[in-house]
Structure 1
Amino acid sequence: MSNYHVQIKAGNIIDTIGCLYNSLTPSSKRIADYVVLNPTQISKHSIANLSQIVNAGDATIIRFCRTLGFKGYQDFKMELAIEVSNFQGREKEIFDTYVTPEDNAEMIGHKLKTAIESVLSETMNLLDFQCLESVAEILKDTKAIYFFGVGSSGLTAESAKHKFMRIGLNVDAFTNNHFMYIKSSLIHAGDVAIGISHSGSSIETTKALRLAKENGAVTIAITHNPRSDITKFSDYVLVNGNQQGQLQGDSIGTKISQFFVLDLIYTLLVQHDITGAKTNKLKTTEALCNKS
């Protein structure tokens, strides 16, 4: 299993709680629920007060703070107070993305725009950009890149294949679990396997990444949960956002944040070889447009 350490950035506390939530213990989830619903109240509470409110011991609260990257409760409380003061309008902004019966098409458009901006901001907060640059560096030199994903994440994998192929990379995507297992068991050392799973708990994608890693591939996970099953077999972890309300349903925010991460990688690759990327893009465009 990988010893890769996911960097949790202090100062983005609410977003960080969201991406780690499913991996927290029940007592830590009670703390998290209270913090997310009452962020302005935390600065008023001593650790003893908070302990009574959330029915968790002082040691549990300290462990929760350390999970988020802080030394202890006082550091956590101070950083959260700064975050709250900087984003006082955020709670109203998220609430405003909910559709009401009175909304016309233009108003719904504005609300969708706000929701998309929110999930992209969260992704920016959660991404480890040093890790992102390392991934781009690896991809530009590898012989083959394979995307794995099922369901909605499978659609993202297929889209990534199309995008990266257009600039000349040797890339393929697999969304059927049998084909995923066959390819990952026959993958060559040094090839790159990228598993896409928003929850990080996809059994099929996790198995494909495990097989690829066992066969010497460099493994990368794109997920919302940096401590999920898929990350146990990943050399690099890229965390995407998740904020979505009633307006976005189950997948629009997820897909936009996944595409955003992949577009960042794509842009870094193009930046490294702008001339070559343009040449390859032109060739593929001409091939697709030529009807003869």
Structure 2
Amino acid sequence: MTHDVKEIFLGETPPAPAALAAKVRTLAPSMTRSMQRVAEAVAGDPAGCAALTVTGLAELTGTSEATVVRTARLLGYPGYRDLRLALAGLAAQQQSGRAPAVTADIAVDDPIGDVVAKLAYDEQQTLADTAAALDTVQLAAAVSSLAAARRIDIYGHAASCLVGQDLAQKLLRIGLIAHAHGDPHLAITNAVQLRAKDVAIAITHSGSTGDVIEPLRVAFERGATTIAITGRPDGPVAQYADHVLTTSTARESELRPAAMSSRTSQLLVVDCLFVGVAQRTYETAAPALAASYEALAHRHTPRAGHGR
């Protein structure tokens, strides 16, 4: 069985106001510079932009009305009027304190207490943004596929590979056959063996990591159900994914690279997948999990002089 490569349609369901800032952070890197100016303006001053007509926002950002409309559509809104309504809602949330203002980046001379506070805020915001933007229909479909899978392969590179390993060990503990592959050659070798009833998961924040996309493509063409966990739902990885789970990311800085901020949102999605699968397979998952706990509890510790 093979799949037809799907064309990607963005914005079928307009995001809620709370998800607007997350959407901007996720898609801004793939926008043109003029569209980025529009996106940055609406995220930075939702109340002010909500009061502007399409012409006014175009003048404010030094762009055209067409660019404003294209930006609104890329962010998931049918038109500028819908974006203005979302901006008004976001502004109201900020005024009520339910959508806190963005804090400053971490500076080289920040006291360690400020570093902790800023990182904690960014982590919390990343989790909130990911939860707000996560498509629960796609998530439920991915969970169903995993719960019924004969075998699960997970592909990731660098920090994303660590997230893949976390998911694999969780699934193994509830009795599923799951393996994480960080080596691209081994990943492709395994992907060739996949068939219908198998599941392949690609984890890539950029959505364009070749070493992750290639094994997913092979799995896709072999008939396996494919899932992409990515911060770029419009990236190349999505064309080989049956289900796309979008992650958010906090603002990057010199001292907080993408690998740190993306990992937080990826781990949330991984935990959602695991809990969903455990719920679906509870009758077998619960005994398997209990058995793994018991085995670890009875694991013999080294005697004195036999290891450290």
TM-score relative to the length of structure 2: 0.86
CA contact (8 A) 1:47 1:61 kept: yes
Instruction: Indicate conservation of the 8 Å contact 1:97/1:114, yes or no.
Output: no
In structure 1, the partner of 2:288 is 280
Counterpart for residue 49 of structure 1:
56
User: Deviations for 1:65-124, whole angstroms, at most 9, x for unmatched residues?
Assistant: 12223232122112101112202458865316746846354x544433322211100101
| 1:38-90 Cα deviation digits (max 9, x unpaired) | 33321232212222232332222222212223232122112101112202458
CA contact (8 A) 2:142 2:243 kept: yes
CA shift digits 1:173-213 (9 cap, x unpaired): 11111111111122222310000001111011111111110
C-alpha change, 1:211 and 1:46, in structure 2 (3 Å) is same
Q: Please tell me whether the aligned partners of residues 72 and 79 of structure 2 are also in contact (alpha carbons under 8 angstroms).
A: yes
Alignment of 1:26-45 (within 5 A): 26-45=33-52
Counterparts of 1:234 and 1:286, CA distance in 2 = 37
Matches within 5 A, 1:213-228: 213-228=220-235
Could you tell me which of 162, 177, 180 is aligned with 2:187? 180
* Deviant stretches of 4+, over 6 Å: none
1:270 aligns with 2:275: no
Deviates more, 1:14-23 or 1:242-251: 242-251
Aligned residue pairs: how many?
A: 291
Match of 1:2 among 3, 6, 9: 6
Bigger drift between 276-285 and 235-244 goes to: 276-285
Equivalent AA in structure 2 for residue 132 of structure 1? L
2:238 maps to 1:234: no
| Contact 1:4–1:235, Cα closer than 8 Å, also in 2 | no
Structure 1 residue corresponding to 2:217, chosen from 206, 210, 216: 210
User: Aligned ranges for residues 81-230 of structure 1 at < 5 Å?
Assistant: 81-88=88-95, 89=97, 93-95=101-103, 98=106, 101=109, 103-105=111-113, 108-230=115-237
* TM-aligned CA distance change 1:26 to 1:114, over 3 Å: closer
Correspondence for 1:70 among 73, 77, 94? 77
**TM-aligned CA distance change 1:229 to 1:76, over 3 Å:** same
Counterpart residue identity of residue 2, structure 1: K
User: What is the root-mean-square deviation in Å for CA atoms of aligned residues?
Assistant: 2.4
Is 1:291 the counterpart of 2:300? The answer is: yes
SS of the residue corresponding to residue 258 of structure 2 reads: coil
User: In 2, Cα distance between the equivalents of 1:202 and 1:67?
Assistant: 22
- For 1:245 and 1:36, how far apart are their aligned partners in 2? 16
- 1:16 is aligned to 23
Which residue identity lines up with residue 168 of structure 1 in the other structure? G
Distance 2:167 2:77 in 1: 36
Structure 2 letter corresponding to 1:291: H
> 1:190–1:218: 8 Å Cα contact kept in structure 2?
yes
Which of 268, 285, 289 is equivalent to 1:260? 268
TM-score (norm 1): 0.90
Q: For 1:101-153, what per-residue CA distance to the aligned partner results, in whole angstroms no more than 9, with x for missing partners?
A: 46354x54443332221110010111001111111111111101110011110
Percent identity between the aligned chains?
A: 27
Structure 2 unpaired stretches of 5+: 302-308
Distance 1:204 1:47, change over 3 A: same
Aligned residue for 1:220, secondary structure, equals strand
1:22/1:225 contact within 8 Å kept = no
Say whether the 8 Å CA contact 1:142–1:191 is kept in structure 2. yes
Cα distance change on mapping 1:17 and 1:96 into 2, 3 Å: closer
Does the 8 A contact of 2:163 with 2:266 survive in 1?
Answer: yes
Q: Which residue identity does 1:138 align to in structure 2? A: S
